[in-house]
Chains A and B, each alone.
Chain A
Amino acid sequence: DTEVTQTPKHLVMGMTNKKSLKCEQHMGHRAMYWYKQKAKKPPELMFVYSYEKLSINESVPSRFSPECPNSSLLNLHLHALQPEDSALYLCASRHEARATTGELFFGEGSRLTVL
């Protein structure tokens, strides 16, 4: 199994809603990432979890709240978002222990629209 699975694929929410994006991998990877990508822009790093602990937060607003309940799962909780938060949210994972190769494996993304 070499997949990173993200759900839902599409999400539409109002500015007062609370929703969550989910990401799952069963490759035994111990580092998991959230990226945000807007149209015609590169993926921008949001959060990194290493061994289920938050190791990087790229000054992301608190309306985005990450959670890593176990080594296979990564959530992104969304609350009081703004229309400018509409974007493709990408989850990725990496086998932390492998120092010689370090590619990220990406999911297909969750397309979020905030009304």
Chain B
Amino acid sequence: DQQVKQNSPSLSVQEGRISILNCDYTNSMFDYFLWYKKYPAEGPTFLISISSIKDKNEDGRFTVFLNKSAKHLSLHIVPSQPGDSAVYFCAASTTSGTYKYIFGTGTRLKVLA
């Protein structure tokens, strides 16, 4: 049972345009969400997070939006750069007890120059 899903396995975007990566979750107990970027043969690198008390968080070119009623979050990258090409994972956790991070299936982003 996949509790965190990314329904688009891949996405191609022109350099300078906006990239939108989507993530859906099923467990209403999740209240903390993160996005990670992963290059081949490397560990995931943290990008940005959001708590369920917010609906938006920005950090430079990266913005995460959370829609709790729809159990949906999205990552916007503006403007997209070729160096952003990687696999992006969303992750979800509860903030009670031990944080148990559950990862989504990943979306491979390709930014075309």
Contacts and interface: CB of A to CB of B under 8 A. Distances in A.
Contacts, number: 62
A42 B99 contact: no
Interface string A66-94: 00000000000000000000000010101
Contact of A50 (B34, B98, B105): B98
Interface string A83-115: 000000010101000010111111111010000
A4 B104 CA distance: 22
Contacts of B43: 4, 6, 90, 92, 106-109
A41 B44 contact: no
Contact of A42 (B46, B93, B104): B104
A33 B93 CA distance: 14
B100 A103 contact: no
Contacts of A101: 49
A82 to B, nearest CB: 23
Interface residues of B, number: 24
Majority secondary structure, A binding face: strand
Contact of A45 (B32, B89, B100): B100
A31 to B, nearest CB: 7
Interface in A1-22: 4, 6
B101 A104 contact: yes
B103 A42 contact: yes
B41 interface: yes
A90 B69 CA distance: 33
A105 B105 contact: no
B49 A45 contact: no
B104 A48 contact: no
Contacts of A106: 36, 43-45
Contact of A56 (B91, B95, B100, B104): B100
Contact of A103 (B34, B104, B106): B34
B42 interface: yes
7 contacts: A35-B103, A41-B105, A94-B99, A101-B49, A104-B46, A106-B45, A108-B43
Interface of A: 4, 6, 31, 33, 35, 40-45, 48, 50, 55-56, 90, 92, 94, 99, 101-109, 111
